[in-house]
Amino acid sequence: MNSPTSERYRKLPGQRRGFLHGGSLWMGSDHILAVKSLRFREEYKRFYLRDIQSIIVANRPRFHLSTRACGIAALWLAVAIAARNRAPWAPAVMFLAAAGLAVSWLYVSYFHSCSCRIYTAVSRDDLPSIYRTWTARKFLSEVEPRIRQVQGVLQGNWVEALEERAAGPAISPASPAIIRPAQVTATRSRTPASDIFVGSLFADAALNFLTLHFTTRTFEWISYALAFVEIGSAVVIFLQHRRGILRAGMQRLAIATLILMGIVYYIRQIIAGVAMGNRPVLPDPSVLAALPNYLVLRQVYAGVCLILGLVGAALALMPESDTV
């Protein structure tokens, strides 16, 4: 990567690849260049090595879906569709593969993820491209020697020196005017509405798994009732997040669930229209249950609901924090 001033950059460990947001880090001659992208827009910020006061890495769950993970999911779906009629054991093998991939992603996202923040005298910025612990270790191993080379090594009791010096932007002196105490809002990881939402996801997944090869009007109406519960609790989650009661993770989970429900609904209508000859009648559940495409759709939907439920349970178990 070269700039118009012929500055030569070297790629640092860590890169965030998302459908909307992206990020990467580059090492220059005397600074670190952070690149944040939002589709067709990119933002650049330099952190000069002589100005860096600290780099903080904190362990925390990060449920990030990269383009690589979505590509693996798309590859699994293509193989599952191609192999569903090849052998009787193919569906079971594909289901086990999907379960293994989902459990691996959840394990890495919860136990081997982190957030990284860099402090200078005038700013504190998050580095979104550093979200896995092994990437953070590689990043620090490359950056720390360069910072020591520029700033030197602190001699003596460096622990006491760091305790006497605060990292980040300096706080301006208090004015003589009366200062009101800051209002502290408790940011919760779960509420009754979020518990109902996560529980409905597990119930929806279980219902679809148990009725894959047969279904009745009763099961159809139960599925509709679960959909209304999921939509209603998602709306409450949006309101609680807007009021600062609930964290953003549960809101994003609700958004992903509503998008999934919309996509599955329209695909189901297309399959039902083809099966019923485009007649404007309520599709017969027994006819739909016998269609291979509808069976694959329900398997995928049940698996994704199970994954979303596990993500919701992990978000609910996160420790609560206070924000000012």
Same-domain pairing of 229 and 131: no
Clarify whether residues 295 and 232 are in a common domain: yes
**116-125, 239-248, 264-273: range with lowest mean pLDDT:** 264-273
Is the residue at 269 inside a domain?
yes
Q: Does residue 107 lie within any of the structural domains?
A: no
Mean pLDDT computed over 3-13: 76
Choose among 138, 135, 74: nearest CA to 108.
135
- What is the span of the domain harbouring residue 148? 10-61+113-156
Instruction: Specify the 3-state DSSP secondary structure of 18.
Output: coil
Is 147 within a domain? yes
Q: Are residues 257 and 203 in the same domain?
A: yes
Return the pLDDT at 208: 85
From CA 250, how far away is CA 241, in angstroms rounded? 8
What is the pLDDT confidence band of residue 168, given thresholds at 50, 70 and 90? low
In a domain, 273, yes or no: yes
Based on the fold, state whether residues 132 and 31 are members of the same structural domain: yes
Task: Kindly give the residue spans of alpha helices, DSSP state H, lying in 84-132.
Answer: 90-111
Average pLDDT over residues 45-53: 91
pTM: 0.58
pLDDT band at 139 (very low <50, low <70, confident <90, very high): very high
CATH at 26: 2.30.29.30
Q: In terms of domains, do 198 and 286 share one?
A: yes
Tell me if residue 141 falls in helix, strand or coil. helix
Residue 22 lies in a domain: yes
Q: Is residue 175 part of a domain?
A: no
Please provide the average confidence, as pLDDT, over all residues in the chain. Answer: 79
Residue 32 lies in a domain: yes
Q: Are residues 145 and 34 in the same domain?
A: yes
pLDDT reading at 279 higher than 70: no
> What average pLDDT does this structure show over 229-236?
90
Total structural domains within the chain: 2
